[in-house]
Amino acid sequence: MNEHDFLISMFIDDELDLEEKIDFVEKVHGSAGFKEDTVSLLRQEQLLRTGQADPKPFVQPVPANPSRFFAPRVLRTAAVAVATAVIVLSSMFFWQHGQQAQPGSASFHRFVICVPDARQVEITGSFTGWRKVALEKRGTGGYWEVTLPLPPGEHSFTYILDGSHRVADPTIPAGEMDDFGGENSILYPGIDA
């Protein structure tokens, strides 16, 4: 995630202090591209919050020159879907990460992942005792979600697609290798970043 995407995400999630908000407004007014990116992510967040997410990605691919590069349509579509999911999930993660709990109390965290081709999505982690918990499919865009209580502290987790394929959360930079050769994401609810 680049600096602009991170700043936009922090703005959407209302995690900026007054000085950062001033900096954000100056950047929006100073760059048409930054303004377009911000509006695009705000519209996507609006769709996600109403449950009407459109399966069409809001990040438009740049047409490739066929004489220099050839990629089947499926690969291009998958790449756009992954990029879209990373941006959307990043903004949602930072919004959720900003929902701080009182010391020693649990907070609720909404886990969201975009996997349009999955028939089933589950999550397992330290906060579930490594038991699988099913996510619910939302809309027609391939988004799956569940909201779970998390006590403050460090938590490891992973998504499980179609009963066996383990996937780390692409929006969380912190991760660790597990004992089975896979990767877990690491989440820190209730702790200031």
CA 124 – CA 130 distance, rounded (Å):
5
CA 105 – CA 127 distance, rounded (Å):
13
CA 28 – CA 125 distance, rounded (Å):
38
Segment 10-65, tens digit of pLDDT: 777 777 788 888 888 888 888 888 788 888 777 777 777 666 654 444 444 555 55
pTM listed for this prediction = 0.46
- Which residues, in sequence order, are bridge partners of residue 150? 107
In CATH, which superfamily holds the domain spanning 3-187? Immunoglobulins (2.60.40.10)
Domain spans, the chain:
3-187
10 Å CB burial of residue 32 (0-12, 13-18, 19+) is exposed
* Among candidate residues 75, 153, 141, the one with its CA nearest the CA of residue 112: 141
Segment 138-161, tens digit of pLDDT: 888 889 999 998 888 888 999 999
Tokens of 137: 């499919």
